[in-house]
């Protein structure tokens, strides 16, 4: 059975076509030039199954898989950045069977009837809708454009795909030039204008949530940046909620990432639930989140480290905390002795974690730092580890039960492992904590050989080693699954935040 496209656009004499095969669904966009049409032909045809090439094969995007997919994408979309999945909408199942509550300490965040059936209009056709979420991190700004499909009012929507792009540096680098920071956001927003069909612009919400980078700025500078971004949003054709730009509580990053990973890996369904913890290492902060198995952990943990919520007729109490100032780049400053200090003109910060003859400049958070190696002192893993140890020793809570637990780790854990060939950059991999220490020793004791890749590579690997072992208290043989994506979806808090956004706006499907 052939179905015509639900949506088509006229683009310079070419019409987008869509071929949908029922059963094993496959989409293909084809183009029919106007000169080949009959008189008064609208151009809405069903292409033949003859294997003929479309008029412009370079502008065709193909998706295969057992799914019903969105109507043909526009030719201006980038085929390298769209991923498709038959995954049900995350958190729709998680929060749909009851009126759950997510409480953090004395705060409560309600997810009531995230996708209630009575909000779905009766529509025989597949309905597509979008959500745009910006992650304004300390090292870069990232846009996530999510596509959702509602096949019928009787079933839950599905997450069809994600378009992702990023720019560097992060918004915090424009602390003294907020207009330029807003320009970087506008460049990303232009992608959304191309990706979302014009007739859905006014129904598509756009939100930016800033994380640790802006938390480190003064309130005045942070608000100036957010105000400029808000103006960019208001000039766009999208739906702009009242709280469209804000600084997010770091603990929510960990909560949403934990739900994302465990839901996408199937750990929250069925009778045998074996959840995994999550570790996120950003530029300015780091998060740890896991589901405690022992009552002792709940009793011994600080009360503001515990968060409760209900789903699947079960109550979960998570251990989660965000440590501001313990992200990878903030830790560099702490190791150099430059964190939270007034930087004097031409002041040089030195470390045994850097090549002896190195002298360079580095910008972070809108501040320029001059740094270098210890020309007369020791270098290598041992003196570097002693420096880094001062940053983490006794500064983080160490719940006993994590020593024997499995964790997913992402962000800079992933990047530094990939940079040093501990894992494949595309596929990720499984490591033990001791693998980071082994690689740190190799790099630090041969610093000149590795410094061309990054002068901070020794310091970064040593910090990760100390953070895992001395900070959190993991064993050497603790297994870490390093990943960027699960089932082609970014392991990010942004997806969960998008669902909460759609629910809070009362958007119907």
Cite the active site residues. Answer: 253
Dist. CA 378–CA 389, nearest whole Å: 16
State the Cα angle at 349 between 347 and 350, rounded to 5°: 140
* H or E element that contains 171: none
Helix residue ranges per DSSP H, 308-399: 328-336, 381-392
- Say what the alpha-carbon torsion angle 41, 44, 48, 53 is, to the nearest 10 degrees: 90
With beta carbons less than 8 A apart as the criterion, state whether 20 and 68 touch. Answer: yes
- Dihedrals φ, ψ of 405, to 5°? -100, 160
Using a 10 angstrom Cβ sphere, with 0-12 exposed, 13-18 middle and 19 or more buried, the burial of residue 218 is: exposed
Q: Which residues contact 87 (CB under 8 A, 6 or more apart)?
A: 158, 159, 264, 487, 489
The answer to whether 284 is annotated as binding is yes
The answer to whether the annotation marks 283 as part of a ligand binding site is yes
Residue 508, judged by CB atoms within 10 A of its CB (0-12, 13-18, 19+), counts as middle
Cα–Cα distance, 5 to 71 (Å, whole number): 6
- Is 286 annotated in a binding site? The answer is yes
Give the angle subtended at the CA of 388 by the CAs of 382 and 391, to the nearest 5°: 155
Spatial contact of 68 and 149, defined as CB atoms under 8 Å apart: yes
Residues in the annotated binding site for ATP: 283-287
Residues in the annotated binding site: 283-287
């Amino acid at each position: 059975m052939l179905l015509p496209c639900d949506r088509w656009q006229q683009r310079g004499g070419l019409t987008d076509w869509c071929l949908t095969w029922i059963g094993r669904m496959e989409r293909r966009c084809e183009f029919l030039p106007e000169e080949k049409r009959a008189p008064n032909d609208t151009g809405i045809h069903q292409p033949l199954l003859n294997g003929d090439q479309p008029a412009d094969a370079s502008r065709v995007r193909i998706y295969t898989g057992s799914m019903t997919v969105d109507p043909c994408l526009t030719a201006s979309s980038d085929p390298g950045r769209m991923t498709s999945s038959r995954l049900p909408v995350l958190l729709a199942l998680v929060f749909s069977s009851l009126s759950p509550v997510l409480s953090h300490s004395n705060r409560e965040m309600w997810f009531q009837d995230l996708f209630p059936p009575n909000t779905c209009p009766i529509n025989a056709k597949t309905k597509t809708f979008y959500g745009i979420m910006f992650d304004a991190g300390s090292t870069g700004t990232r846009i996530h454009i999510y596509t959702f499909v509602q096949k019928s009012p009787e079933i839950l929507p599905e997450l069809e795909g994600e378009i992702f792009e990023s720019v560097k540096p992060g918004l915090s680098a424009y602390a003294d030039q907020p207009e330029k920071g807003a320009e970087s956001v506008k460049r990303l927003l232009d992608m959304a204008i191309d990706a979302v069909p014009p007739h859905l612009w006014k129904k598509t919400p756009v939100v930016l949530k800033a994380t640790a980078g802006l938390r480190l700025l003064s309130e005045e500078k942070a608000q100036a940046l957010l105000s400029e971004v808000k103006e960019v949003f208001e000039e766009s054709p999208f739906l702009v909620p009242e709280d469209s730009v804000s600084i997010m509580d770091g603990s929510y990053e960990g909560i949403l990432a934990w739900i994302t990973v465990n839901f996408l890996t199937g750990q929250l369904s069925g009778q045998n639930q074996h959840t995994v913890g999550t570790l996120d290492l950003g530029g300015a902060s780091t998060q740890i989140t896991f589901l405690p198995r022992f009552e002792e952990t709940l009793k011994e943990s600080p009360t503001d480290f515990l968060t409760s919520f209900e789903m699947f007729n079960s109550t979960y109490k998570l251990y989660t905390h965000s440590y501001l100032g313990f992200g990878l780049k903030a830790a560099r400053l702490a190791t150099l002795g430059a964190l939270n200090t007034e930087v004097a003109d031409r002041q040089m910060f030195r470390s045994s974690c850097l090549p002896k003859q190195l002298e360079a400049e580095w910008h972070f958070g809108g501040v320029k730092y001059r740094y270098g190696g210890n020309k007369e002192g020791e270098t290598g893993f041992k003196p570097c580890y002693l420096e880094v140890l001062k940053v983490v020793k006794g500064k983080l809570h160490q719940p006993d039960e994590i020593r024997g637990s499995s964790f997913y780790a992402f962000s800079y854990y992933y990047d530094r492992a990939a940079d040093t060939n501990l894992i494949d950059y595309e596929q990720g991999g499984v490591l033990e904590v001791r693998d980071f220490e082994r690689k740190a020793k190799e790099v630090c004791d041969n610093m000149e050989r590795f410094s061309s890749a990054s002068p901070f590579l020794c310091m970064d690997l040593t910090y990760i080693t100390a953070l895992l072992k001395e900070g959190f208290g993991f064993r050497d043989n603790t297994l870490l699954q390093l990943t960027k994506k699960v089932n082609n979806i970014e392991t990010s808090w942004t997806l969960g935040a998008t669902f909460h956004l759609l629910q809070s706006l009362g958007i119907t499907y």
